[in-house]
Amino acid sequence: MKKNINKIAVIADHNVLQLFPNYIDNLGIEAPKYVFGVLPGERNKSIEEVVYLWQNLQEHHFDKKSLIINFGGGKVSDLGGFVASTYQRGIPFINIPTTLLGMIDAAVGGKNGINFNGIKNVVGTFYLPEKIIVDTLFLKTLSPSQLLDGFGEMIKYALIGDGALWNEFIKMENIHAKDIKKEWINSCITFKNKIVQEDLYDQGLRHILNFGHTIGHALEAYYMKNPHSGENNFSHTISHGHAIALGIITESYLSFRHHLLPQSTYEEIRKFILQLFQNTLKNISVNEINDIVQLCLLDKKNIDGCINITMLEAIGKASPNHWVSKEECAEAIAELRG
């Protein structure tokens, strides 16, 4: 990390500040600190929040010798990284992720972004943090749903690059903080860093990290826009990890339909995920499926209206950049209906 820091901006989730009010002070970084609290949740990862933070940085005369510390979950890493990368064309920042999801996903890899017009992370930058501090102390404060949220991404890492990790996972029936091993977290971070070093700007190989995300992000965006869907009787939004877990099922199904993945492997993946995650697509209507497919068409990886999917060839082996039709996406989503 750069020395001679003249001031520090702490961008933090209000809830995290209440739980760990002195954590940043104990890091030993000597410089005046300014704390800017942000609201939790994907709905607040917006341009309005960015403008609020830009204004505060400007009012307090932050410059290239200043440091931003992002202290919170994945939303804070995404938002704070975007602010750091754009203010004065880039000032240094570090991430201190406080959720399992943040530790293995948002805080790692240099992708920063905000949501816009209901589309997740559609505006963003590539800009690497100076440092990432991973402290499993934070896991003890997470609710079961927050742990499960991160575990959805952890499943992805096992399926695309670590068959041994998958074999550990399928023995589990429930997820508790004590079950999450530090070596699991390290394995996910190491794998992602290896991919990022080879393809920082997401031109090819890094697409394998999007397994489960094309349809998963569409599900997340749909329920963000329609939290009270009448047809599906869905009364709340869906978390990122939950959406990705269902996206993994649908994209594993597409891998099977494209003759890459054995049917038995697809069924093993489906069974394991559905014993942990609620199947919110069980009663989904045709109209809702069509709306979700339209959101799939807005994915950043698509070209000329074709939907880009990462597929599986086997447990631990992913294959990026397969093109599927709207009809195939609809079939994959519909396969989860009861």
Whether 94 is covered by a domain: the verdict is: yes
Mean of pLDDT values over 158-170:
96
Whether 182 is covered by a domain: the verdict is: yes
- Is the domain of 135 the same as that of 148? no
Q: What is the mean pLDDT of the chain?
A: 93
- Is the domain of 276 the same as that of 235? yes
pLDDT at 300 over 60: yes
Q: How far is CA 229 from CA 237, 244, 326, in A?
A: 10, 20, 22
Domain extent at residue 84: 8-141
Mean of pLDDT values over 171-179:
88
- Is the domain of 182 the same as that of 310? yes
pLDDT band at 158 (very low <50, low <70, confident <90, very high): very high
- Is the domain of 204 the same as that of 229? yes
pLDDT at 232 over 60: no
End-to-end CA distance of the chain: 52
pLDDT band at 131 (very low <50, low <70, confident <90, very high): very high
Task: Please tell me the predicted confidence (pLDDT) of residue 236.
Answer: 60
Whether 3 is covered by a domain: the verdict is: no
Distance CA 75, CA 322 (A): 29
Whether 266 is covered by a domain: the verdict is: yes
Query: What CATH number corresponds to the domain at position 93?
Result: 3.40.50.1970
Distance CA 338, CA 335 (A): 8
Q: Angle between the 240-257 and 144-161 helix axes, to the nearest 10 degrees?
A: 30
Task: Single out the residue in 102, 121, 141 at which a domain terminates.
Answer: 141
pLDDT at 233 over 70: no
Over the stretch 64-105, which tens digit does the pLDDT of each residue have?
Answer: 999 999 999 999 999 999 999 999 999 999 999 999 999 999
- Is the domain of 132 the same as that of 151? no
- Is the domain of 294 the same as that of 192? yes
- Is the domain of 117 the same as that of 257? no
Task: Please tell me the predicted confidence (pLDDT) of residue 235.
Answer: 43
Task: Please tell me the predicted confidence (pLDDT) of residue 305.
Answer: 75
Q: How many domains does the chain have?
A: 2
More confident of the two residues 228 and 216: 216
Distance CA 181, CA 198 (A): 27
More confident of the two residues 118 and 2: 118
- Is the domain of 260 the same as that of 311? yes
Over the stretch 275-296, which tens digit does the pLDDT of each residue have?
Answer: 999 999 999 999 999 999 999 9
Whether 174 is covered by a domain: the verdict is: yes
pLDDT band at 226 (very low <50, low <70, confident <90, very high): confident
Whether 275 is covered by a domain: the verdict is: yes
Over the stretch 10-61, which tens digit does the pLDDT of each residue have?
Answer: 999 999 999 999 999 999 898 999 999 998 888 889 999 999 999 999 999 9
- Is the domain of 309 the same as that of 174? yes
CB 101 within 8 A of CB 74: yes
pLDDT at 191 over 80: yes
Residue where the block lists tokens 């709340």:
236
- Is the domain of 239 the same as that of 135? no
CB 159 within 8 A of CB 318: yes
pLDDT band at 306 (very low <50, low <70, confident <90, very high): confident
Task: Please tell me the predicted confidence (pLDDT) of residue 304.
Answer: 74
Whether 2 is covered by a domain: the verdict is: no
pLDDT at 230 over 80: no
- Is the domain of 151 the same as that of 237? yes
Among 142-146, 183-187, 210-214, 300-304, the minimum mean pLDDT is found in 300-304
Distance CA 109, CA 201 (A): 10
Whether 1 is covered by a domain: the verdict is: no
pLDDT at 231 over 50: no
Task: Single out the residue in 113, 141, 169 at which a domain terminates.
Answer: 141
Task: Single out the residue in 109, 141, 173 at which a domain terminates.
Answer: 141
- Is the domain of 43 the same as that of 157? no
More confident of the two residues 181 and 225: 181
Query: What CATH number corresponds to the domain at position 251?
Result: 1.20.1090.10
pLDDT at 227 over 70: no
